[in-house]
Amino acid sequence: MKIGVFICHCGENIGKTVDCHRVAEVSALMPGVAYAEDYKYMCSDPGQNLIKQAIKDKGLDAVVVGSCSPHMHEKTFRKACSSAGVNPFMVEIANLREHCSWIHEDVPSATRKAIDLIRIAVEKVKYNEPLIPIRVPVTKRALVIGGGISGIQAALDVAGAGYQVILVEKEPSIGGHMSQLSETFPTLDCSQCILTPRMVEAYQHPNIKLMTYSEVENVEGFIGNFKVTIRKKARKVNEDLCTGCGDCIQKCPIKKVASSEFDEGLIKRPAIYVPFPQAVPNIPVIDTAACTYFKSGKCQMCVKTCGRGAIDFKQEDRLVEEEVGAIIVATGYKLYSIDKKPEDNIYKGYGEYGYGQYKDVVNGLQFERIASASGPTSGDILRPSDKKPPKKIVFIQCVGSRDESKGFSYCSKICCMYTAKHAMLYKHKVHDGEAYVFYMDIRAGGKMYEEFVRRAIEEDGVKYIRGRVSKIYEEDGKLIVKGEDTIAGEAVVIDADMVVLATAMIPQENASKLAQLLGVPYDKHGFLQEVHPKLRPVETSTGGIFLAGACHSPRDIPESVAMASAAAAKALVLFGSDVLEREPVVAKVNETTCAGCFYCRKACAYNAIERKVLKDRNGKFIKEVAYVNSSLCQGCGTCNATCPSKSVELVGFKDDQIYAEILALAEV
């Protein structure tokens, strides 16, 4: 092997502390080195040409460049060498700048170190082998998990670019939490008025395949090539036959059997139902736990009513397999359950606020329904217990948020704004009403957000009290709210008619289970983790899987929409190429020596190691060995260090390469 060594002065950056000429002289004497030279700027055009020329003139087949960090110019030099006919993976970089000249002052010792670094690289490159980048095809279809505003936006963007999208929603309708909201801050736009056209657009889009009442059951594969199994839960209503007329719902004899999910339990719904009138698709679902037929085999009123014969009691769950290239996760949030009931509450909760105990203590989403024109009170602010307009409402912020002792350390971000909105909506509807807000800090960062809160305080006369509430109890039909005003430094007691708790946002149910299925990390609260908090906020550490909306962290609608579009853009970047090229630094198995212990499988964080059966030419079983799926392998090399027989090796960082580096430092 003929190795060329090229030492860069980097102007004075390296040259000042390292005697580059001396390093080149010593390098030329190293075994295997056929040529060595130093130059002022190796990365410049003349510098690169110098390398290319030497490759041609001296017939070099490996190159070592002593220059800046490989993170800086490894690609540059690989490309230059590749254009001169040397495989890019036959190039090694010795970091003479960041790891030597910039951190040392003494020229002799820095020069000695530089020579060592070159020797390490020279010894390693002797064991390098020419590699070709791995190419994998890309399936240009996307899966969007979650049909809230984030999922809808992401699906519309990907579909709008001309690619197929499968939009999976676990509820019977898309729309998510946004469809439950009354008005949105800071413009007080009606939420449904701006959302429902989007829902319909997603439903009718030729590129979007909508799968409601469905859940992702299994995910296999890797970037560009995912195989997804989706469970289509049985609606017991034939989607192809149903016209959405709603006769069955009218005729269902058990009108008030289960609490309405959409109306946050404020009212009851029948056994066959659509979540809300504008549901997309407008196809009912039978709640088999509530339906008389599924209990006793009787009734069948809906079957008799349906002129289309769409009711199908025998319908079963179906598993649908889809192939996609990118996955956008938009599973959203739910509210921290502050219910005192122990069976469905794993959190410590706020028993002292009496949620679940007093009917007139509601959470933020329940108040949205009360204030919504499509809600149970048709938009009149009436308290749940006696349906009378409350004259005094107390809003409490940070219930669960920013409170590690009882809830979570993080800020739920949207509550300051929606509480101001709630108070405002209340004041607009109940003119003689009084609204009090207990807050810790007002966090109103965002366009027109601070102004919105000021408007609530100054124009609508909402009274903000800085402090926490310690207890709420009922007395003479009033809710006595005991708190403190930390600015005035005194205790506050308010006899309220209704209390609204701004409870913390937490990840949707089973979000962490889904994350495990996808191989995406999540934080201790269950929010999914991005790969880089600053520069790659929508990508995950698993290639081809992107995040949108509140599944990542609490965020409001505009932020969710922006994140969804960003995730869609990332998916589209992926779809921009027919094949993916990636560094061939992946593990390889020596099938001859592999004993099939599969310790490597346990060590692999990417499920990249599979079992492979070896057979002889007669089809007789020989043994089972490990097989590395190079598309899944990320190249960490943990399997390599784990393997007892050294049968799996990480290409580019093989044992003999690293031993060569270590021995380059040995005193011979």
Using CB under 8 A, list all residues that contact another protein: 69-71, 95, 97-100, 102-106, 109-110, 112-113, 116-117, 120, 521, 541, 585, 603, 605-606, 634-638, 640-642, 650, 653, 655, 658-659, 661-663, 665-668
Minimum distance from residue 532 beta carbon to another protein (Å): 10
Residue closer to another protein, measured from CB, 385 or 642: 642
Minimum distance from residue 329 beta carbon to another protein (Å): 17
If one counts every other C-beta atom within 10 angstroms of the C-beta of residue 360, the result is 21
Whole-number Å distance between alpha carbons of 2 and 364: 72
Dihedral of CA 647/652/656/661: which sign?
A: negative
Whole-number Å distance between alpha carbons of 335 and 509: 10
SS3 call for 498: strand
Of 266, 186, 132, residue with least CA distance to 579:
132
Q: Report the DSSP beta bridge partners of residue 283.
A: none
Q: Would you say 484 and 459 are in contact if contact means Cβ atoms under 8 Å apart?
A: no
Residue closer to another protein, measured from CB, 100 or 211: 100
Residue closer to another protein, measured from CB, 285 or 585: 585
Minimum distance from residue 402 beta carbon to another protein (Å): 23
Residue closer to another protein, measured from CB, 122 or 301: 122
Residue closer to another protein, measured from CB, 84 or 603: 603
Residue closer to another protein, measured from CB, 27 or 634: 634
Q: Would you say 212 and 294 are in contact if contact means Cβ atoms under 8 Å apart?
A: no
Minimum distance from residue 12 beta carbon to another protein (Å): 13
Residue closer to another protein, measured from CB, 88 or 637: 637
Identify the residue whose tokens are 């909506």: 425
Residue closer to another protein, measured from CB, 358 or 599: 599
Residue closer to another protein, measured from CB, 271 or 589: 589
Minimum distance from residue 375 beta carbon to another protein (Å): 43
Whole-number Å distance between alpha carbons of 184 and 371: 12
Q: Would you say 424 and 455 are in contact if contact means Cβ atoms under 8 Å apart?
A: yes
Residue closer to another protein, measured from CB, 559 or 661: 661
Q: Would you say 329 and 542 are in contact if contact means Cβ atoms under 8 Å apart?
A: no
Q: Report the DSSP beta bridge partners of residue 355.
A: 358
Q: Which helix (H) or strand (E) holds 135?
A: strand 134-137
Minimum distance from residue 105 beta carbon to another protein (Å): 6
Minimum distance from residue 661 beta carbon to another protein (Å): 5
Q: Report the DSSP beta bridge partners of residue 215.
A: 231
Dihedral of CA 476/479/483/485: which sign?
A: negative
Minimum distance from residue 326 beta carbon to another protein (Å): 20
- What value, to the nearest 5°, has the Cα angle with vertex 199 and ends 197 and 232? 165
Residue closer to another protein, measured from CB, 68 or 382: 68
Minimum distance from residue 216 beta carbon to another protein (Å): 21
Tokens of 128: 């390098």
Tokens of 466: 């800085």
Q: Would you say 592 and 184 are in contact if contact means Cβ atoms under 8 Å apart?
A: no
Residue closer to another protein, measured from CB, 15 or 70: 70
SS3 call for 394: strand
Whole-number Å distance between alpha carbons of 499 and 395: 6
* Residue partners of 226: CB distance under 8 A and separation at least 6: 139, 143, 219, 220, 323, 324, 325, 326, 327, 544
Q: Which amino acid is at 164?
A: Q
Q: Which helix (H) or strand (E) holds 471?
A: strand 469-475
Minimum distance from residue 219 beta carbon to another protein (Å): 16
Minimum distance from residue 521 beta carbon to another protein (Å): 6
Could you please report the per-residue DSSP string of 152-220?
Answer: HHHHHHHHHTT-EEEEE-SSSSS-GGGGG-SEETTTTEEHHHHHHHHHHHHHH-TTEEEE-SEEEEEEE
If one counts every other C-beta atom within 10 angstroms of the C-beta of residue 291, the result is 22
Minimum distance from residue 92 beta carbon to another protein (Å): 10
Minimum distance from residue 635 beta carbon to another protein (Å): 6
Identify the residue whose tokens are 């205790």: 491
Minimum distance from residue 95 beta carbon to another protein (Å): 8
Residue closer to another protein, measured from CB, 128 or 640: 640
Residue closer to another protein, measured from CB, 1 or 641: 641
How many helices (H) does the chain have, and how many strands (E)?
A: 17, 34
Backbone angles phi, psi at 204, to 5 degrees: -90, -5
SS3 call for 379: coil
